[in-house]
Copies of this chain bind each other. A is one copy, B any other.
Amino acid sequence: MLKEYVKPSFPEKEEVKRRLKEEEDKLFSYQMQIKEKKLPVMVIFEGWGSAGKGGLIGRVIRMIDPRFFQVASLEKGATEDEQRYPFLYRYMVEIPEAGQFKFLDTFWMREVTTAVLKGEISDEEYEKKIRSINTTERQLTDNGYLVLKFFCHIGKKDQKKRLDLLLMDKDTRWRVNKWDKWENEHYDECLSVYDKYLKDTDRSTAPWYIIDAKDRKTALLQALSLLNQGIDTALKNHSVAVPILQNTYPLVSMPKLKDIPLDQSVPQEEYKEKLDELQKKLKYLHNKIYRKKIPVIVAYEGWDAAGKGGNIKRITGALDPRGYTVQPIASPEPHEKARHYLWRFWNRLPKTGHVTIFDRTWYGRVMVERLEGFCSENDWQRAYNEINEFERELTDWGAILIKFWVQIDSETQLSRFTYRQNTPEKQWKITDEDWRNREKWDQYEDAVNEMLEKTSTRTAPWHILESVDKKYARLKALEILIKAIKERL
């Protein structure tokens, strides 16, 4: 794309001025519509060092009310702390909420192309990152995000001139870093790498736009008119259905819930002994994964009153409190609901060497959100694949990911609900909503069966914890977790 790029011809000065005014007015009037229609707008600026990305962003935002936008610069590369998260992490936490602009001064392109130029990643790793980026950009646009990607382009000579000018003045010298100089000296090599990246990530739902950045005024005009054009298109659409991609993940065959026997039980004495033994093992292993910096994610889903809480306690009972977090997942808060549904989970990932236990998870999308109509049919149908993609990012990163479905039958739930209702100190655990959900048991059972079928990938299969006897379920959970960690070490 860059290689074939030819500088467009721009109109006369006066005409540029007139059009700038026009585009500025347009953007000004769009901002309220974006707010009202709850459109999330991500504007990514990439480009050559000293092409003027920062200044350009500064001029674009002049027209927008400060309550409606945020600017973030990700140019610096991952901090030591951020390096302990998946590659996508520090970018995903930055995505805007619905009705807001987010202007990004460099994004995931920079990290990838710099790594290529420094010879730090293999072709295979490059391909993997490109896949992650394309997948994520597709997930964002599929979920209603407007993603605009601008590459600010200047020629080798112009870049040199700008760098020299900055270097001449001691007040601006700090703005030129080693990388900028290197980039200019290896301009053609960089051009090839940037060009390849643009081609590899150019998709019609999130296409690249090259901005000729030689002249400030015309650069601004290009940025504004592309921004307005993108907004215009996005505002015309309202909750568009997008194709459901084929689930290409190898799946493990799962039984239907109704076919799962639930008559297992463990005698109290044997339970105590076994629990003690397993917890000791887990404690020992927790230490090991901490030192080996392996992240562990344990995800719990299951029927109300199935015994998730007690089960989790038996896991955490074996762990060093400095090395784990339990994340109870309730309905999303407004700022969470306003973003891609996986955002609040990206935000809650463990660092390498840590354990995070999710008490309810991202699977809410294909259970409660599906059944209560909190998202469209197209949304939840798409979600199986999106979740598999999300989990692949986690396992590719190196995480041990264990997913538990805590299973009981309807009668057991009824007796536990009734017991809670009739026992004063347990009454807080039972709400009207629990009873309402119970009425939808059959619909939930269908949804869970579909979820188990479509998301039990080989790298992150579901494990059923038969929990009519809670003791049995607890021992099984510990055993599965221990086995998974041992296999990794």
Which segment of A170-178, A244-252, A353-361, A431-439 sits at the interface?
A244-252
How close is A340's CB to chain B, nearest CB, in angstroms?
Answer: 16
Q: Check if B233 sits within 8 Å of A378, measured CB to CB.
A: yes
Q: Mark A172-205, 1 if CB is under 8 A from B, else 0.
A: 0000000000000000000000000000000111
Say whether A207 faces chain B, with CB atoms less than 8 Å apart: yes
Q: Which residue of B lies closest to A249 (CB)?
A: B6
Q: Which residues of B sit under 8 angstroms from A1, Cβ to Cβ?
A: 248
Q: Which residue of B lies closest to A236 (CB)?
A: B241
The A211-256 residues at the B interface (CB cut-off 8 A) are 226, 229-230, 232-234, 236-237, 240-246, 248-251, 253
How close is A341's CB to chain B, nearest CB, in angstroms?
Answer: 18
Q: Check if B210 sits within 8 Å of A246, measured CB to CB.
A: yes
Say whether A105 faces chain B, with CB atoms less than 8 Å apart: no
**C-alpha spacing A240/B144, complex, angstroms:** 13
Q: Which residues of B sit under 8 angstroms from A324, Cβ to Cβ?
A: none
How close is A110's CB to chain B, nearest CB, in angstroms?
Answer: 20
How close is A132's CB to chain B, nearest CB, in angstroms?
Answer: 15
**C-alpha spacing A249/B7, complex, angstroms:** 10
How close is A18's CB to chain B, nearest CB, in angstroms?
Answer: 14
Q: Which residues of B sit under 8 angstroms from A207, Cβ to Cβ?
A: 243, 245-246
The A439-484 residues at the B interface (CB cut-off 8 A) are 458
Q: Check if A246 sits within 8 Å of B209, measured CB to CB.
A: yes
Q: Which residues of B sit under 8 angstroms from A240, Cβ to Cβ?
A: 236-237, 240
Q: A203-B203, A204-B138 are in contact. Are A230 and B248 (CB under 8 A)?
A: no
Say whether A271 faces chain B, with CB atoms less than 8 Å apart: no
**C-alpha spacing A381/B241, complex, angstroms:** 22
Q: A233-B241, A233-B242 are in contact. Are A248 and B204 (CB under 8 A)?
A: no
Q: Which residue of B lies closest to A6 (CB)?
A: B250
Q: Which residues of B sit under 8 angstroms from A79, Cβ to Cβ?
A: none
Say whether A24 faces chain B, with CB atoms less than 8 Å apart: no
Say whether A5 faces chain B, with CB atoms less than 8 Å apart: yes
Q: Which residues of B sit under 8 angstroms from A422, Cβ to Cβ?
A: none
Q: A142-B204, A233-B378, A378-B233 are in contact. Are A210 and B243 (CB under 8 A)?
A: no
Q: Which residues of B sit under 8 angstroms from A251, Cβ to Cβ?
A: 6, 8-9
Say whether A4 faces chain B, with CB atoms less than 8 Å apart: yes
Q: Check if B243 sits within 8 Å of A230, measured CB to CB.
A: yes
Q: Which residues of B sit under 8 angstroms from A233, Cβ to Cβ?
A: 241-244, 378
Closest 9 CB pairs of A and B: A6-B250, A236-B241, A9-B253, A209-B246, A233-B241, A138-B204, A207-B245, A240-B240, A237-B241
Beyond A205-B243, A229-B381, A232-B241, 9 additional contacts (C-beta under 8 Å) are: A6-B250, A142-B204, A203-B204, A204-B245, A205-B205, A207-B245, A210-B248, A226-B246, A233-B244
Sampled A-B contacts (11; CB under 8 Å): A4-B250, A6-B249, A6-B250, A138-B204, A209-B246, A210-B248, A232-B241, A233-B242, A236-B240, A236-B241, A236-B378
